[in-house]
């Protein structure tokens, strides 16, 4: 089973960025632990700070991968283009957020991804990604 985690802007700074909200672990270290735990799966990780690159990656994997775990970060709340890309593809997308976006500022309550996501996992820290992964397993 081929699953890609796609992370949007500023998530390359995990571990350094606002650790009280996002924790102390870098995504690379977290991803290594996921790969070890789910060695039977083909896991891929991609991060970009650029909206168009995220759309390219969604299109590129959206007809061949079994699942996409997408944290579009701030673009969640602004990007019609990423929302449209999620709608355009065949691969199911699980939207994830590390923090509970609904407990934060009002502008984080709206998502352009959610209407076309197969599911949404919000507010469990980095565990949100693992819960999304588990949702793809039979």
Nearest to 47 by CA among 67, 73, 21, 18: 73
Catalytic site residue 109?
no
Torsion of CA 31, 11, 64, 81, to 10 degrees: 170
Is 84 assigned to a binding site? Answer: yes
Rounded distance, CA 62 to CA 90, Å?
6
| Nearer to ligand DQA (CB atom), residue 90 or residue 106 | 106
Catalytic site residue 22?
yes
| In the complex, minimum distance from the CB of residue 85 to ligand DQA, in angstroms, rounded to a whole number | 17
| In the complex, minimum distance from the CB of residue 78 to ligand DQA, in angstroms, rounded to a whole number | 9
For ligand DQA, the binding residues (CB under 6 A) are: 10, 71, 73-74, 76, 97-99, 101, 108
Rounded distance, CA 77 to CA 52, Å?
15
* Residues marked as catalytic: 22, 97
Give the annotated binding-site residues. Answer: 71, 77, 84, 98-99, 108
């Amino acid at each position: 089973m081929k699953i890609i985690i796609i992370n949007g802007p500023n998530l390359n700074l995990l571990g350094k960025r606002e650790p009280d909200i996002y924790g102390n672990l870098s995504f690379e270290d977290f991803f290594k632990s996921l790969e070890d735990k789910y060695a039977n799966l083909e896991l891929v990780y991609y991060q970009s700070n650029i909206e168009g690159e995220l759309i390219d990656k969604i299109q590129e994997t959206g007809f061949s991968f079994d699942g996409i775990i997408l944290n579009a970060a701030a673009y969640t709340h602004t990007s019609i283009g990423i929302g449209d890309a999620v709608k355009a593809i065949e691969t199911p997308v699980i939207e994830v957020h590390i923090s509970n976006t609904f407990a934060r500022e009002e502008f984080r309550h709206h998502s352009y991804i959610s209407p076309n996501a197969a599911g949404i996992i919000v507010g469990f820290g980095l565990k949100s990604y693992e819960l999304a992964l588990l949702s793809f397993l039979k």
